[in-house]
Amino acid sequence: MKLRSVMIRIILITTLFAVLAVYAWQIEGQAASPGKERYMVGQREIIIGDEGNTIAGDYVDPTPKGIGVKTIYLAFTCVSNRPLFNEIIPAFKEYWFQKTGERVRFETGYSTLDFDKIATLVNGEPAHVLISTSAHDSVRRGYETTRWQQEANRGVVYSTPVVFLVRKGNPKGIYTYADLTRPEVMVVHPNPINAAGFWPVYGIYGSALRASELETGRRDKQAAQELLRAVEENAVYNTSTSKGAGIQFLEHEVGDVLIWFESRALTTVRKDDSVEMVIPPNTVMADLTVYKMKKIKNGEYEALINEFIDFMFTEDSQDSFAKYGFRPSDEKVLSRHREFTSLDNPFPVDYLGNATQLKKELILDKWVKINNARKGLKNTTKYEVRAIEEDVADGADKESITGDVYTD
């Protein structure tokens, strides 16, 4: 009897380990965070190097879970949901069913861009596919590039540059980032303490680096910082989102120029004839690159995921991105869409440097100091930035990264 009890316990323990092993095998591919640093910016906590759950997407897949139904978990950034939800995902589901007879469903999540945070868990599950700006070091997060990285598009599914939205007729004559420094020009962009506001700062600062390099062969960081300071003297931001900045500019008629993504600007000018778009020279590009989870051991799943990635590069899918204001990476498709005019010396965000270092030094250091020191304006908070925790990875104490930040 005693021997029988021992054997039952051994069987139960063995079964438990087997179940855990299978679960671990299924989710393998999600890398651990490389370490976290936490800072307080005013009353807001900033986490650098964190990862976690995405914000739930508004796509509800009508295909229910069930035996024989495969689920693709997709995380994305930079308002790519409309072409994906409305056209590309439904088209792929139909394509796959016609090809294999199998049903596929999608669960999606918006991956927040909070400094170097890449949210990769969709409803608690690691994303199979991540569409992210090149600002993020996705590879070290358990993801890898695809075969498209070797193609002319470098794995970029689509792009959108940072542009200006101005009043009809451009009465202030705003064409370059330098024009934003004129005292009579009021500039609107989202608050750079939030993710949407990173990109205007990248555009302003990077445009001066790019212009100086083209002129002298070297990047003049002092000129870049001075341009950022001068533009921010004219800036107003009390909203954390790109959409909120648009409401300020369009509905409340605040400001003379809105620094925005081309994708939003294009769709706006199509239906609002009170504004027009200007593309400045030397502007930053948000290149949306596709990555897939590493070490997908289930061969059938890997084939499905690879096929979905390939599907986003088909002409029909690239046309869908273009329809919603995103520049397709397929040059042939791009040439058919006359709304996308040529760009004058654009640069990818990686041109500015490493993502984490960039956001610490440019946003939390340079921009915060400029913001706190500026005279006047305009509905703007002063920020105190301080470290509040040890680094999770090595336990080393972190010093404040803004030593001489001005505070109230």
Q: What pLDDT sits at residue 48?
A: 72
Crossing angle between the packed helical segments 89-100 and 299-312, to the nearest 10 degrees: 130
Q: What pLDDT sits at residue 401?
A: 29
Q: What distances in angstroms separate CA 147 from CA 80, 172, 316, one per listed residue?
A: 21, 46, 20
Q: Cα torsion for 264, 266, 269, 271, to the nearest 10°?
A: -80
- The CATH number that domain 29-158+286-336 falls under is 3.40.190.10
320 in Cβ contact with 327 (< 8 Å)? no
Nearest alpha-carbon partner for 79 in 46, 52, 112, 48: 112
Residue type, 175: Y
Phi, psi (5° rounding) for residue 172? -90, 0
Q: What pLDDT sits at residue 218?
A: 96
223 in Cβ contact with 212 (< 8 Å)? yes
pLDDT in tens, the chain (408 residues): 556 665 656 665 555 544 444 333 333 334 334 457 777 787 777 777 666 788 777 788 999 998 889 999 998 876 668 899 999 999 999 999 999 999 999 999 887 665 656 778 888 888 999 998 865 555 656 788 899 988 888 899 999 999 999 999 999 999 999 999 999 999 999 999 877 888 999 999 999 999 999 999 999 999 999 999 999 999 988 788 888 899 999 999 999 999 999 999 999 999 999 999 999 999 999 999 999 988 776 777 899 999 999 999 999 999 999 999 999 999 999 999 999 999 999 999 889 987 677 788 899 899 999 999 887 655 677 888 887 744 433 333 332 322 222 222
134 in Cβ contact with 285 (< 8 Å)? no
Q: What pLDDT sits at residue 112?
A: 67
pTM of the model: 0.83
Task: For the chain, give every domain's residue range.
Answer: 29-158+286-336, 171-283+351-387
Q: What whole-number distance in Å separates Cα of residue 406 and Cα of residue 383?
A: 8
Q: What pLDDT sits at residue 117?
A: 65
Beta pairing partners, 277: 165
The CATH topology of domain 171-283+351-387 is D-Maltodextrin-Binding Protein; domain 2 (3.40.190)
Burial of 381 (0-12, 13-18, 19+ CB in 10 A): middle
Q: What pLDDT sits at residue 16?
A: 52
Judge if 29-158+286-336 and 171-283+351-387 fold alike in CATH terms.
Answer: yes
